[in-house]
């Protein structure tokens, strides 16, 4: 399978804490993208990291990519109740013209 | 900021009926996609479309499915004879595409929730 796999499947933390989600994949990629999905809604693009990049920041988001371990992590700092959502990594594999999504991490921020 | 739009937001149909889901991609994008997400499951790729033809399709995208870009702005997904298992959220996405290497973000529309009864 070429899937990205996230862990944990579910994460519940207190507001203000940091949340870390991990993603692993199996074959070489062009890039890896993280998306957020509020319950029953659309996919909101958060950040794209290319295969030759190791770390990217966007506001309270920090994404790392380790191509040797075929893994990525998404860190949300100083979490807020509005961050409650499902987070998906999606990999863009070399030679393919599609994104392959993982099962997602369901993040709950408790006030 | 430009965005992908989809209509309708919710479609209810009877099994065996044809449905057409519509998408307006971002105007300067060249690659278009359809994905679906069955309730509670992951997002799955259906088909990619470039230069007025299908460039890749998944096993899900069988003869019941077709895509079309009927004019310069719309991109449609047709399901010829819907089945109960076609009930899902269908997402359209578009991508600018740079230099033959996929380094650009895929932007997703808000989705069409299809319910087959």
| pLDDT tens string A50-109 | 999 999 999 999 999 999 999 999 999 999 999 999 999 999 877 677 899 999 999 999
Mutate one of A31, A41, A90, A98 to test the B interface: name it (highest B CB count within 10 A): A98
Indicate whether B99 pLDDT > 80. Answer: no
Mean pLDDT of chain B: 91
Q: Which has the higher per-residue pLDDT, A35 or B98?
A: A35
In this prediction, residue B100 carries a pLDDT of 55
As a whole number of angstroms, the distance between CA B48 and CA A65 comes to 26
For A50, name the nearest residue in chain B, comparing CA atoms only. B103
Contacts of A100 in chain B (CB under 8 A): 45
B105 contacts A45? CB cut-off 8 A: yes
Q: Which has the higher per-residue pLDDT, A93 or B53?
A: B53
Strand partners, A42: none
Question: Are the C-beta atoms of B10 and B89 separated by less than 8 Å?
Answer: no
B108 contacts A43? CB cut-off 8 A: yes
In this prediction, residue B80 carries a pLDDT of 95
| Residue closest to B47 by CA, chosen among B10, B26, B75 | B75
């Amino acid at each position: 399978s070429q899937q990205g796999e996230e862990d944990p499947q579910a994460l519940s933390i207190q507001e203000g804490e940091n949340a870390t989600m991990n993603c692993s994949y199996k074959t070489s990629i062009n890039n890896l993208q993280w998306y957020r999905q509020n319950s029953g809604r659309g996919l909101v693009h958060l950040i794209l990291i290319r295969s030759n990049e190791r770390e990217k920041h966007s506001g309270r988001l920090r994404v790392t990519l380790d191509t040797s371990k075929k893994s990525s992590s998404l860190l949300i700092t100083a979490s807020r109740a509005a961050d409650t959502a499902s987070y998906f990594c999606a990999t863009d594999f070399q030679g393919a013209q599609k994104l392959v999504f993982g099962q997602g991490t369901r993040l709950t921020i408790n006030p | 900021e430009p965005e992908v739009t989809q209509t309708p937001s919710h479609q209810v149909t009877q099994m065996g009926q044809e449905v057409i889901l519509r998408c307006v991609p971002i105007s300067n994008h060249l690659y278009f996609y359809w994905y679906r997400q069955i309730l509670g499951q992951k997002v799955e790729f259906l088909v990619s479309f470039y230069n007025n033809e299908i460039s890749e399709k998944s096993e899900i995208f069988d003869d019941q499915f077709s895509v079309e870009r009927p004019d310069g702005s719309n991109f449609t997904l047709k399901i010829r004879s819907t089945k109960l298992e076609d009930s899902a959220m269908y997402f359209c996405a578009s991508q600018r595409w740079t230099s033959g290497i996929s380094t650009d973000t895929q932007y997703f529309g808000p989705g069409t929730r299809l319910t087959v009864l």
